[in-house]
Amino acid sequence: DGGITQSPKYLFRKEGQNVTLSCEQNLNHDAMYWYRQDPGQGLRLIYYSQIVNDFQKGDIAEGYSVSREKKESFPLTVTSAQKNPTAFYLCASSIEGVGQPQHFGDGTRLSIL
C-alpha cells in the first residue's frame, strides 16, 4: 500500500535535547512538508521541500531543522532552541505541480518530560 509513514507515534523530549521525527513516503511524490498542529490553531507550515537536497522555511521554522537526502525521506529535528515543542507534528507529500493536493501521514505527538 502506498502511503506516508511517520514514526514514532509518540515521542518525549527532555529539556535541552534534540529529537528527530521520521517521515517516509512510497508515493513517489516530489514535494514533502512538515506541519505543526496545536489545539485551537490551524496547521502551521514548518518546512517544505520540492526536490532532493533543497528545502525552504515555512512560517514557523525557528527551532527546527530538516534534511532531504532521499526523495522518500524528510526527517524533522526539533532542537533545544524550540522552547514550546509540545504539539502534534504532521508530515505531508504531494506531486509537484500547480495546485496538487497534499496527503498526510498519521502524525507524531511530541511531549516534554
Q: Would you say 71 or 103 has its CB closer to other proteins? A: 103
Interface with other proteins (CB under 8 A), residue from 43, 52, 60, 61 = 43
Q: How far is the CB of 4 from other proteins (least distance, A)?
A: 8
Cα atoms found within 13 Å of the Cα of residue 18, Cβ hemisphere only = 10
Does the footprint of other proteins cover residue 105 (CB under 8 A)? yes
Sign of CA dihedral 5, 51, 102, 2: negative
Residues that bind other proteins (CB under 8 A): 4, 6, 31, 33, 40-43, 45, 48, 50, 56, 58-59, 90, 92, 98-99, 101-107, 109
